[in-house]
Chains A and B, each alone.
Chain A
Amino acid sequence: MIANWVSRTSVHLEIMKKAFKVSVTYKINTLFEFLSIGFDFFIQICVWTALYNGRNLVNGVSLSDMISYVMVSSFVSSLSYSGIALKIANQVKDGTIGNELCRPINYKDMIMYHEIGANLFHSICIRLPVVLLFGFLIKVVIPASGLNFLLFFISVIFGITIVYGLNFIYGMLAFWLKTSEYVNFISRALMTLFAGRFVPIWFYPEFLKKIGQVLPFRFITFEPMQIYLGKVDSHQTLVILLSQVIWIAALTIIQQIMWKAVQKHLVIQGG
């Protein structure tokens, strides 16, 4: 049992290592990524400063909170980025999923750890230095407390689990739809709107907030950020973490059911 877990974990680590190595291969990309993140931060800071127009607080949020939100949430977003839905859908569409299934390893693990490996490179080696640089120059708010940081860290991990659960579900829909065109729509549109990546949910109109309440997307970046910035009390923090756990459980059950169904009438296309 334990030996089994150890060998599985070592395969996962190896997959992450390889993905990390792939990302390192293209050095020019890295340079451009640095620059584009820098520009992006600069633009967002200008926009928010202009929107605040000298006011201290808007909806109870200060400008410095907002700028911290921009930086730190961009880091969380890049850690919890997931494109596996499109990858799975395309593999289903062109039949390469057959290749993956010939291996003695869980399909989702294979594809998920590969992406996490790449994400670690992009967030820690590229984005984090930019965040730190800007943070040093314009004073980003550090976490409200050590405990907040720990809880923030846990909720980010939960958030990542939710993202991969959702993406796996979107991806598997391709078995029924036989196309992958829908993926961008559901994953991008819903994420942008309800995860609060671009505009934090603080500034949303009531009805959007209400819809967002019943969806899992806000638990990916927005709620962990609230914990980071100390915008929620200990009771609310507990509710956030618990809700995340409930969402993870629900998504896991849905994935299991779908995967069973997929295996029952799996069709590998082509050749």
Chain B
Amino acid sequence: MSYISVENISKEFKIYHREKGFANIVKSMFARKYSIKKAVENINFSIDKGELVGYVGPNGAGKSTTIKMLSGILIPTSGKITVDGRIPYENRQENAMHIGVVFGQRSQLFWDLPVEDTFDLYRKMYLVDKTKFKRNLEFYTDLLEMKDFIKMPVRQLSLGQKMRANIAIALLHDPEIVYLDEPTIGLDVLAKENIRKFIQEVNKEKKTTVILTTHDMDDIEQICNRLIMIDKGQIIYDGKISDFKKRAEGENVLIVEYGDTDPVDFILTDTRIKLLQEEGKRKWFKYCKTEINTAEVISFVTKDRQVQDILLKEPEIEDIVKKMYRAQQVEVVS
């Protein structure tokens, strides 16, 4: 049996229609109008110990709902979740001892106190013994470069510093699993880099299973070995990152900026090249590497023409994601 298993999980929310006014609030205590929204619908996946999984999807796809069910704070409407043999929502507090959770948009820290005070409290809360506490604190302080701000009141810290502290706190008790809900949201490139390296390091050193949600595809590309994509409450991809990238392989784009004097309207006689978009003197050509090589394309589109600039665009994971989201939408509309 797998370490984390999610079987046929659905979660429905009642969306209540609110009315203004005190009388209506009182009335709404007894009878309320609502509609049902399915946040996730019949999802299945299983995760092995030590995996580093990226869980992505557009806003409102059901990512956070899944994380909340995995961490035991939401109860699924139907289906079954087991995490290391436990059912998280049936024994929330017991489950909480074994997991670490970071909600990127919400801080766990005492606003008015130095970071180390929150560490103290969490040491007691998670029954971490003193030697382990010291060892972990040193390890994290070092890796996350927290030395400069660990004695400063949280209200004086930058977003990146707070995020680092929150991640360290979630990992203080050496949880077997960590759920990171948008751990790099709002951070600059350097801070993101730092956090990514840290997550990888912890995963390698302590064999911690990591599930992270994000909107930043670089997070996934750089640190995860598996990708689960969800949209409209359903899983639309589950597999290796490399396989995912293969889907778009060969779909290259060549951007050519032509010189002033040239007649830029011409007919593409080669069907292997497609005109994607044009804007003034610029043209975007799409082609498949499996059908035609780049040199051929360049020589074809620049023949007898004055060229100012040529740009080659490799397929990026982000583009594939966009395409997949779009494909989903079209499906729903039709």
Contacts and interface: CB of A to CB of B under 8 A. Distances in A.
Interface of A: 7, 10-11, 14-15, 18, 21-22, 25-26, 95-96, 98-99, 101-106, 176-179, 181-182, 263-268, 271
A98 B102 CA distance: 11
A177 B25 contact: yes
Contact of B125 (A104, A176, A178): A104
Interface string B72-110: 111100000000000000001110110101010110101
Contacts of B181: 271
A96 B118 CA distance: 17
B117 interface: yes
B45 interface: no
B282 interface: no
Nearest to B107: A99
Contacts of B153: 25
Given A25-B153, A99-B108, 14 more contacts: A11-B125, A14-B121, A15-B121, A18-B113, A18-B120, A99-B106, A102-B71, A102-B72, A103-B96, A104-B125, A106-B93, A176-B29, A182-B25, A264-B75
A247 B99 CA distance: 38
Given A101-B92, A102-B71, A271 B29 contact: no
Contacts of B68: 98, 268
B8 to A, nearest CB: 19
A104 B103 contact: no
13 contacts: A7-B124, A11-B124, A11-B125, A14-B125, A25-B112, A25-B113, A95-B106, A98-B68, A101-B73, A106-B93, A178-B16, A179-B18, A268-B74
Interface residues of B, number: 39
B275 interface: no
Contacts of B126: 104
A22 B93 contact: no
B125 A98 contact: no
B79 to A, nearest CB: 16
B13 interface: yes
A104 B18 contact: no
Contact of A104 (B13, B96, B121): B96
B103 A98 contact: yes
A102 B72 CA distance: 8
B28 interface: yes
Contacts of B96: 102-104
A266 B75 contact: yes
B124 to A, nearest CB: 5
Contacts of A102: 71-73, 96, 99, 101
B64 interface: yes
Contacts of A21: 113, 117
Interface string B118-132: 101100111100000
Given A22-B113, A266-B75, A271 B93 contact: no
A105 B64 contact: no
Contact of A265 (B28, B75, B103, B106): B75
A63 to B, nearest CB: 41
B75 A179 contact: no
Contacts of B110: 18, 22
B29 A177 contact: yes
Nearest to B103: A99
A106 B72 CA distance: 14
Contact of A22 (B94, B103, B112): B112
A108 to B, nearest CB: 12
Contact of B124 (A14, A106, A179): A14
Contacts of B74: 266-268
A25 B112 CA distance: 7
Nearest to A12: B124
Contacts of A264: 75
A20 to B, nearest CB: 11
A104 B94 contact: yes
B245 to A, nearest CB: 28
Contacts of B125: 11, 14, 103-105
A243 B14 CA distance: 40
Residue in A95, A99, A178 with the greatest tally of chain B CB atoms within 10 Å: A99
